[in-house]
Amino acid sequence: MTRRDLLVHPLIVSSQTPEAEQRWFGARVFGKRSLGIAPIRLPLTEAMIDAARAGMGVAVMSEWIAGPYLDHGDLVVRRLSGRALMRPWRLAFRPELREAARCLGAALERAAPRVQSA
């Protein structure tokens, strides 16, 4: 799937995504180009999945979120061509769990992203 593919189909996005994250995604995927099609904003993952199943557009979500919905065979996951979109993540923890959080952070840094094939 290419950026051009996303310009001809409405994007289905979460209405819960913060504005800064929406701008981050748009800048990395489309640069300064205008989308031309207003995204469909839905409040629930299930609604986004149902809209994609109904052919209303392309749902934009992380692979790990989409994974559980792929068992029926009526949806596929496609990564945008080019490099993976890497975004910063944070761990939130109580001070007494600092060492456990450090170990978890180290393990996550070594974990490679999983790519679904279809």
pLDDT at 74: 87
> How far are the Cα atoms of 22, 35, 59, 64 from residue 115, in angstroms, in the given order?
22, 26, 16, 9
Model confidence over 63-80: pLDDT tens digits?
778 888 888 888 888 777
Model confidence over 22-79: pLDDT tens digits?
888 778 777 776 666 678 999 999 999 999 999 999 998 887 788 888 888 888 887 7
Domain range annotation of the chain? 3-88
CA–CA dist 40, 51 (Å, integer): 9
CATH superfamily for domain 3-88? Periplasmic binding protein-like II (3.40.190.10)
Beta strand extents in the chain (DSSP E only): 11-14, 40-42, 58-59
